[in-house]
Amino acid sequence: MANKKIFIFASLLVLIIFFTACTPTSTPPATVDSSAVATIVAATQTALAQVTPAATPTAQPTQPAPTQPEPTAIPATPTLPPIPTPEPSPAVRIAYIKGGDVYLWKEGTGSIGLTDSHDAIDVQISSDGELIAYLRQDPEDALLQELWAVNTNGSPVEHALVSSSELAKHFPLDPDFYPSSIGVYDFAWRLGTHELFYNTLLLHEGPGVMPSHDLYRVDADSLDKITLLEKGEGGLFYLSPDGNQIALSKPESISLVNADGSNLRKDVLTYPLVITYSEYQYHPHPVWAADSSSLRVTIPPADPLMEPLQATGLWLIPTDGSPAVLLGNVYAMPFAWPNNAFAPNFEKVAYAMRVGEPTDNMRELHLANPDGSNDMAYDSGESLEFKLWSPDSHHFIYEVNGGNNEGLYAGALDGQPVLLHPDQRLVSGIQWLDSARFAYLLATGEQRELRITDLEGNALAFIDTLPEEFPAFDVLP
């Protein structure tokens, strides 16, 4: 055994001398580190001490011998595990209507057309991005509508969800409105499902909007249909973030119901009818808390033109059966409905207030606590209007519609306004992608451009040019 160890050790020395001698002359020979050699020798002796005759492999002439790596010195510090690569953020998706057809734009990929019926007028994308629901309206007969869906994975396949004949069966037509039919007022996906909720309205030739205050659900996979609330029992509907409850808004009350139609809690908040001086009725827009435990809603005065100006109420609506609570009041500009007054985290409200003589059309943008306290002016301008809060509840967007500072602005609770566009009349349909980016429509002549920008006014993406006067789109951040 001792002779075998000496033989192996000598062979290693010969290999070291051989590889050193074979080093190309164009490369200077490496200096041999004596400490490294000592380390190699020590490691080799340790390995040889564990060798036994039985462990000696028998050479196989038909197979090449495995390559043995050269021994290296043990590093002074241990090798750290690799830093895990963070999961990539899901690509933003935007469903939109172009020329009456449904398109899908995906961040990093671009746009693809999904339908070719040329009659789509509205669109909603499911929370998993797999289905797009769209409303079709007969170009030759505006009184005929249908709900359809198309998949976004693989080859697009379209299928009807609710036909015009099925819509007509929901309830008898009003004989005072002829010709008329039943159409879709609004539709929305339930979070994490392929269940589409919708309500209806009376389609007729003439002014005014006549919602039916009903509620229905269709499963886009099985096509099962359920009537949740009959005509007059529902209202404009707002699904909770967790998808389990629905707020129902009517001109004189707000109710709550479970998403399966059970546990209807009628009139959790009532208020006087708000005069609009027009052919439509005002419906308040309740806003859900992120945890679905409560809602906030602003209720304008019954007569917005009454002098002196009457207060707009700031209300809290719990979902546990507790009564609604009036938190406070603000004095918002008449008809500048403060539907988006509450920040998403409910810590602030924003609204436009009239200042000076009414004929001057001057307004201030005010920020206040959710009960109306600590009210302070942020900016002023001719016909100023507050638009919406960012999802971070820190930034917001508003517009000034005249004067030297006309334009669309981004504001911040602790920052100065940033001009996003000098002509606010060209910008519409803002929908947030995250706390800093939003998609919007930019008017260019008689067309609209679908674009993405940020709160600094930086143009981030051009998506498409749309010929519709009022094109519809929906985002999936």
> pLDDT band at 82, cuts 50/70/90?
low
Beta-ladder partners of 443:
448
Domain boundaries, the chain: 1-23+30-55+66-85
How many Å apart are CA 229 and CA 234, to the nearest integer?
Answer: 6
* Mean pLDDT value across residues 157-162: 97
Burial class (CB in 10 A: 0-12, 13-18, 19+), 460: middle
Task: Give CA separation, 233 vs 199, 255, 264, 441, in Å.
Answer: 11, 9, 9, 35
> pLDDT band at 89, cuts 50/70/90?
low
* Mean pLDDT value across residues 294-310: 96
Task: Give CA separation, 306 vs 161, 297, 302, 335, 351, in Å.
Answer: 46, 21, 9, 12, 19
Give the end-to-end CA distance of the chain in Å, rounded to a whole number: 71
> pLDDT band at 263, cuts 50/70/90?
very high
* Mean pLDDT value across residues 319-326: 96
* Mean pLDDT value across residues 353-375: 95
How many Å apart are CA 265 and CA 235, to the nearest integer?
Answer: 13
* Mean pLDDT value across residues 457-465: 97
Residue 150 has pLDDT above 80, yes or no: yes
The conformational region for residue 291 under phi > 0 = left, psi -120 to 50 = alpha, else beta, is alpha
How many Å apart are CA 352 and CA 400, to the nearest integer?
Answer: 11
Helix (H) or strand (E) segment spanning residue 9: helix 2-21
